[in-house]
């Protein structure tokens, strides 16, 4: 079983990179809340580690749940993947799935201060795993799947924000914290849509937004969401380091140029690679600013 699971995780959910993502996401939001709310100090302990591990395990839960949900379709569309190809058995994933649920509940029950928000997050994840009891409706509609499933990132962000606010006595639903929730939500929405936008010659049986709405309309939607992302990111960056806003604006203008190039000549490159680069620059700017402020306080 261990060998089969190692194949699965290597292909579908690389453990060390995803664990790093869990810690980065947790601490990016954690320090954004502290710094933008002008809280004078911070102390990191066991709870922050448990919170980061919760993010890591919850994302693993979603990955395995998706494989269970889409196993019939994946046998046709992605037959070489670990689960539909039989490289990992269903019982293997069931054991991991149950273990994730038990471990995450126990850790949050005994260590964390935001049990209500964990229950909300876990409840939403559970509903996602069963297609909100509307599989025959949602599975057939890509936009409906996006509307019902993608907001999980907001609840994931809220889990981190709530923990931080409760620990330091900061109001949870302030304007700044709501902006933080959405600033760290837009990248997930943008990536989910952009990875399903293809040039006409690259379309297959797989349903994409470009096939449903045309690649031009789908790309313009990305630009609109990117504009919202730029506004919220620029707002938070300005609160911390005003002159760094220029980095966010320039990267967005660059992305507009690349999106227009894609609209004019969709065969030239894959749009998602340019969007990923934009997100790396924007999120990297945010993280770098946080590091500067944190080091300033520590030193």
Identify the three-state secondary structure at position 199.
coil
- Read off the pLDDT band of 187 (50, 70, 90): confident
Would 179 be classed as within a structural domain? Answer: no
Give 203's DSSP letter: -
Range of the domain at 215: 185-299
| Domain membership flag for residue 44 | yes
Distance of alpha carbon 167 from alpha carbon 68, whole angstroms: 36
Same domain flag for 3 and 146? yes
Same domain, 123 and 266: no
Last residue of a domain, one of 141, 172, 203: 172
pLDDT at position 122 over 90: yes
Pair (51, 102) in one structural domain: yes
Contact 107, 114 (CB under 8 A): no
CATH code of the domain covering residue 81: 1.10.357
Q: Residue 178 domain-assigned?
A: no
Q: Is the pLDDT confidence value at 237 over 70?
A: yes
Count of domains for the chain: 2
Which of 169, 163, 176 minimizes the C-alpha distance to 44? 163
CA distances from 232 to 100, 177, 181 (A): 33, 11, 10
For 162-198, give the DSSP string: HHHHHHHT--TT-HHHHHHHHHTTHHHHHHHHHTT--
Mean pLDDT across 105-125: 95
Q: Quick one: pLDDT at residue 299?
A: 58
User: Residues with Cβ < 8 Å from 238, sequence gap 6 or more?
Assistant: 245
Q: Helix, strand, or coil here: 241? A: coil
159/238 same-domain check:
no
In contact, 224 and 256? CB cutoff 8 Å: no
Q: What is the pTM of this model?
A: 0.90
87: pLDDT strictly greater than 80: yes
Q: Looking at the structure, do residues 76 and 162 belong to the same domain, yes or no?
A: yes
Burial readout 136-166 (b: 16 or more C-beta within 10 A, e: otherwise): eebeeebeebbebbbebbbbbbbbbbbbbbe
Reply yes or no on whether the pLDDT at 99 is more than 90: yes
Q: What is the mean pLDDT of residues 176-200?
A: 88
On whether residue 235 sits in a domain, the answer given is: yes
Decide if 159 is inside a domain.
yes
pLDDT for the residue numbered 256: 85
Collapse the DSSP code of 266 into the 3-class scheme (helix H, G, I; strand E, B; otherwise coil) and give the result. Answer: coil
Per-residue confidence (pLDDT) for residue 54, from 0 to 100: 96
In this structure, the answer to whether residues 40 and 76 fall within a common structural domain is yes
Same domain? 54 vs 99: yes
Residue at 257 is within a domain: yes
Residues 21 and 139 grouped into a single domain: yes
């Amino acid at each position: 079983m261990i060998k089969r699971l190692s194949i699965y995780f290597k292909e579908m959910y690389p453990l060390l990179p995803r664990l790093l993502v869990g810690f980065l996401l947790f601490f990016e939001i954690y320090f954004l809340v502290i710094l933008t709310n002008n809280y004078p100090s911070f102390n990191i302990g066991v709870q922050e580690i448990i919170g980061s591990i919760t993010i890591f395990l919850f994302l693993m839960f979603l990955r395995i749940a998706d494989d269970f949900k889409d196993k019939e379709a994946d046998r046709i569309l992605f037959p070489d993947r670990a689960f539909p190809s039989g490289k990992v058995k269903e019982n293997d994933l069931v054991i991991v799935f149950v273990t994730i649920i038990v471990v995450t509940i126990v850790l949050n029950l005994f260590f964390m201060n935001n049990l209500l928000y964990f229950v909300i997050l876990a409840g939403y994840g559970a509903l996602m795993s069963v297609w909100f009891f509307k599989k025959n409706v949602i599975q057939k509609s890509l936009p409906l799947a996006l509307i019902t499933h993608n907001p999980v990132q907001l609840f994931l962000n809220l889990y981190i924000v709530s923990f931080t606010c409760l620990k330091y006595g900061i109001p949870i639903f302030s304007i700044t914290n709501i902006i933080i929730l959405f600033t760290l939500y837009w990248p997930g929405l943008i990536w989910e849509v952009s990875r399903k936008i293809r040039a006409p010659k690259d379309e297959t049986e797989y349903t994409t937004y470009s096939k449903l709405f045309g690649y031009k309309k789908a790309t313009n939607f990305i630009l609109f969401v990117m504009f919202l992302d730029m506004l919220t990111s620029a707002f938070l960056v300005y609160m911390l380091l005003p002159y760094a806003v220029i980095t966010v604006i320039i990267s967005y203008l660059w992305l507009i140029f690349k999106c227009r190039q894609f609209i004019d000549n969709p065969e030239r490159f894959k749009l998602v690679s340019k969007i990923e680069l934009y997100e790396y620059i924007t999120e990297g700017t945010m993280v770098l600013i946080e590091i500067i402020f944190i080091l300033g306080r520590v030193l």
